[in-house]
Each structure stands twice: as C-alpha cells, then as structure tokens.
Amino acid sequence: MPTTFATAMKNQEKKNLRHLSQEEIKNVLEGVGEKSFRTKQVWEWLWQKGVGSIEEMSNLSKDLRTKLSEQYDLYSVAIDSNQRSSDGTMKIKFRTHDNHFIEGVLIPAEDRMTACVSSQIGCSLTCKFCATGTMGRTRNLDFDEIFDQVVLLNKLAITEHARPLTNIVYMGMGEPLLNYSQVLKSIDRITMPDGLGMSPRRITVSTAGISKMIKKLADDEVRFRLALSLHAADDQKRRRMMPINDENNIESLMEALQYFWDKTGNRISFEYILFEGINDTVQDAKNLAALARKFKVLLVNLIEYNRVEGAAFTGLHFSKMEKFKGLLEQYGINATIRRSRGKDIDAACGQLAIKE
C-alpha cells in the first residue's frame, strides 16, 4: 500500500542505514551490545542480497532487528506496476519512499539481459525529442535508489527469464552527469566484490554531453563505458534539438572525449537518433564520420526515433537507416542500427515519462 505523506515524514526521522559506512555500522552494532562480526552480515544483506527492509535480515536476532528499526530505515524503492511489450521488453514503474515515481526497463535478448535505469526523478534538460524532458526535474536519486532498480530488475530477469542481468545502461530518466556523485557511488555498490560484483565493463553511462563532467570522469579514472547522445554532427542542428549544446558545443565535447579516452581507454559510443530531413543527409554522415574517426575504440549506434506526443519529428524508415549506416561504413566507421524495443508500452529510447 502506498506510503502516506505523513508516514513518509515520520519515517524520515530515522537515519538511512544504507548511507552508513562499514565502520559506522560496526559502531552502531557495538553500541547495542553486538559483536563486530555482525557488521559483515548486515553489509551483505544491504549490498549483496539487496533486501528491502531490516526485517528481512533473517540471520539477525529479532531483538537486534527491532533495535535497528527503531533508529534506521532503508528507504527502499519498490515496484509500483509493470507493463510487458509484445517483444518481451518490460517497463517498470518504481515508487520511491517519498511517493515519487521513476521508470526502468528490462530488455531481454538472445545474448544479453539489459537493465535500463534512471538517475533522476524527471530531467532538467529539455531535449526536443524526449518525453522525460517535458517533466522537469523533481530531485536527484540517491545511490541506493539507483542500486534498488538494478536489484529489482535482476530479480525480474531471473523470475521471468531464468537468467540474471548481464548489462546495465544509465539511459533511463535524467542526466547521469548532473547527479554525478550518486551515480558513481551506485556503480561502486554494483561493481564492488562485496556488492553485486558486476564488471564495470558491462555498465554504460549515457550523457547528453557535459564537457567538464566528462573530464571529471576521466580524472576519477572510471572503468565503465561512456555513451554520448550526439544526434547531430554540427552545432546548428544539434542546438535546435538539444539546448544543452549552447554551453557544451561539439568542439568542447570532442575535446572532453579525447581527454576521457587518453586517460581511461574506455570504450566510447555515439548515440545518433535518425530524424527524417534533419540529420540524415550524406553531409551529415560525412560530418559524423569525421567526429567518430577521432577515437580508436568507438561505436556509432543509429537509433530509431520513437514518437513522443507533442514533438515535431519524424523517424527514418529502416531502409534509409540502412543506407545511412552504409555511408558510415564506407568512411570506415563501425556502426550498428539499434532497433527500438518496447515501443508499444512507451518504454523505448526517449519515451520514459510518468503518466498518471
């Protein structure tokens, strides 16, 4: 049953147990007369087993669980509802502890099982082709709320498909680099050996393009992969679709990506939605190839446009997408066409937006 606002505020008086370090948890446990070995048990429940409540920590005594619950909560994200596409994709509506909603997507394929997760409630960017951008931003998600999405989508993958997640993409609601610290902390919990233990090479963070934050990723020596939502290879066209280009033009983005590549060697990909009559010409392909050639390890993902209500764009027919891909390949660029999944339930790229 949904938490009422009053209950949420009452619960907020409790501290978030998941925001404590191992040392802080050890001090809490010793403060109520427990041995320090309990620290490892609690940590495993939080970050390996991904429980949604203190009560689920079944190898702790009832007395200890009661003592912890008096002062702490987990403020977990829960599944509110889900929809299944005709192609097997599942869109999940998650509810936060303070009664906000976000969406995530589970995308099954023959060779992989991918979770698409959100980093913000809504988005402050106003990309003209994206439904999430019409919502505005309510707040950033905490690292544990992002972690919860992965845990819940992994459970669904096992339940529905008898296999766990193989890949995670930060391509849901929000701009990950505008929630920098919490996104990186969530990836730390997902990849650490005493967490979910997933390889960072299986994680891709997608950004609309914030040059200084891309450089910060490099300075922080991240190990995950980076995807730039480019969608146009010249400033004039990109600016019309993505206002963020005013402060992060293509030249500055290429400089930042070069810095990222030189420091990390991590794979970079360009995401490029093809729009009829906007970014689909031979010259557009030449411009895109010129940018892509700057990086040795780069993939261009050509993406179908998924219609968004109120947006004045038309997607490219698949045969024309194939032709554009062929042009890139002639110029020596590794390109692939990413067919949309979950279009019939508004779960495809650019379609995530909470509808009451």
What is the per-residue pLDDT across 176-226, written as a single tens digit (0 to 9) for each? 999 999 999 999 999 999 999 999 999 999 999 999 999 999 999 999 999
Average pLDDT over every residue of 132-160: 95
Q: What is the pLDDT of residue 12?
A: 59
Which residues share a beta bridge with 335? 300
- Examine the pLDDT at 347 and tell me if it is beyond 50: no
pLDDT confidence band for 335 (50 / 70 / 90): very high
Q: How many CB atoms lie within 10 A of CB 34?
A: 20
Q: Which contacts qualify for 328-332: CB closer than 8 Å, 24 or more apart?
A: 328/285, 328/288, 328/289, 328/292, 328/300, 328/302, 331/285, 331/286, 331/289, 331/293, 332/289, 332/293
Q: Give the active site residues.
A: 103, 349
Predicted model pTM: 0.92
* Contact indicator for 112, 102 with CB cutoff of 8 Å: no
Q: How far apart are CA 90 and CA 102, in angstroms?
A: 14
- Listed residue (91, 83, 170, 169) closest to 351, CA to CA: 91
Q: What is the pLDDT of residue 344?
A: 54
